Structure 1
Amino acid sequence: MKIEPQHVVSLTYDLYVDQPDGTEALVESATEEQPLTFLFGVGQMLPKFEENLSALSTSDTYDFKLTAEDAYGEHDEEAVANLPLEMFQGADLPEVGAILPLQDNQGHHFQGQVVSVTEDSVIVDLNHPMAGQPLHFKGKILNVRPATSEELAHGHAHGPDGHHHH
């Protein structure tokens, strides 16, 4: 079956990023036992990732690269936040390199990596860990099926090969 919007897609992938020495390193994988399953065309995935898959069908393999711009954006030197130490009262101060779960005033969740800890604040880099990096995806389409009306209403895949509600 061909991938179309409002279809549930299960696929394997290996994600590679470029290393300083010119080689590629595998940073993430989804296997046939633990595939990535998502509702296509609702904005769950990177738009260019979906665009590259849009002509494929079940059992097709794929191999494509996304530029940093089409993936998680260029690394933004300005995307740092100074979190006042008061925020961490009663908790241990995070160490440099720690990933902090954060939330903005609109309730969006995101992560920041601690760059330094000063006397009065914790400085956090808000760039996505893969910002500034081209992403190289290789994998295989395992299954494509029309989404159920319930899945469409919820905006994500359900069932044994989908999203579980806890």
Structure 2
Amino acid sequence: MTTISENQVVTITYDLSVTDENQEKVLVESAEADAPMIFIYGQSGLPEEFERQLDGKNAGDTFRFSLTPEQAYGEYDEQALVEIPKDVFMIDGKLDDEMLQEGNFLPMADNEGNHMQAKVVSIGETAVQMDFNHPLAGMVMHFDGKVADVRPATPEELAHGHVHGEGGHQH
């Protein structure tokens, strides 16, 4: 039986809840058996503590743990709210009103070409307020799930840094 450890392809199902302002758990995401989360342990880009909580588990094992903001995506950072000139969002001299709506997440890039997602917070006359915080920043996350499968990653998957085949990336 393969155990979750470095360079293993891990398939899990889970429910993710967060603690709201009333200290109630609110379900925000589920990964079901027909659409599980599949990742290479140690190369996932997931919070280190998330992976550490799964370390040593086998297919069929269940898990239940919580991550504080410090263990996950950090505290909410007010400085990550940025005003961007509206003309940045112009395409061929026009604003894309479908794309530029409050609540939408848009792909953005910084001056160094690093890609990130930002949420449209508000749209003013001349600027758009964007939130570059991770959507789960500042939240306590509660995971309740099951390990569906563990297998060694192939050399090609390790070289590419992602899972191939069913549930993974297709080339």
Rounded to whole Å, the distance in 2 between the matches of 1:48 and 1:157 is 21
Task: Say which SS state the counterpart of residue 79 (structure 2) adopts.
Answer: coil
1:48 positional shift: 0.9
Q: Shift in Å at residue 43 of structure 1? A: 4.1
Q: Does 1:92 pair with 2:61?
A: no
| Secondary structure of the structure 1 residue equivalent to 2:56 | coil
Deviations 1:38-88 (A, max 9, x none): 111124322110011012111100000000111111000111211112112
What's the secondary structure of 2:95's corresponding residue? Answer: coil
Normalised by the length of structure 1, the TM-score is 0.92
**What residue number does 1:101 align with?**
107
1:102 Cα deviation (Å)?
1.1
Give distance in 1, aligned partners of 2:170 and 2:14. Answer: 21
The one of 134, 153, 164 equivalent to 2:159 is 153
Question: Aligned with 1:78: secondary structure?
Answer: helix
The aligned residue for residue 69 of structure 2 is 68
Runs of 4+ in 1 over 3 A off after TM superposition: none
User: Could you state the TM-score of these two structures normalised by the residue count of structure 2?
Assistant: 0.89
| RMSD, aligned α-carbons | 1.5
Report the Cα offset of residue 150 of structure 1: 0.9
Structure-2 separation of matches of 1:62 and 1:33 = 19
In the alignment, which residue of structure 2 is the partner of 1:39?
40
Question: For residues 141 and 43 of structure 1, what CA distance do their matches in structure 2 show?
Answer: 16
Equivalent residue for 2:123?
117
Q: Are the aligned partners of 1:38 and 1:44 in contact in 2 as well (CA < 8 Å)?
A: no
Matched residue, 1:58: 59
Among 134, 138, 143, the alignment partner of 1:128 is 134
Question: 3-state DSSP class of the match of 2:116?
Answer: strand
**How many residue pairs end up in the alignment?**
165
Percent of aligned positions with the same letter in both sequences? 45
Q: Which residue does 1:8 correspond to in 2?
A: 9
Contact 1:114 1:122 in 2 (8 A): yes
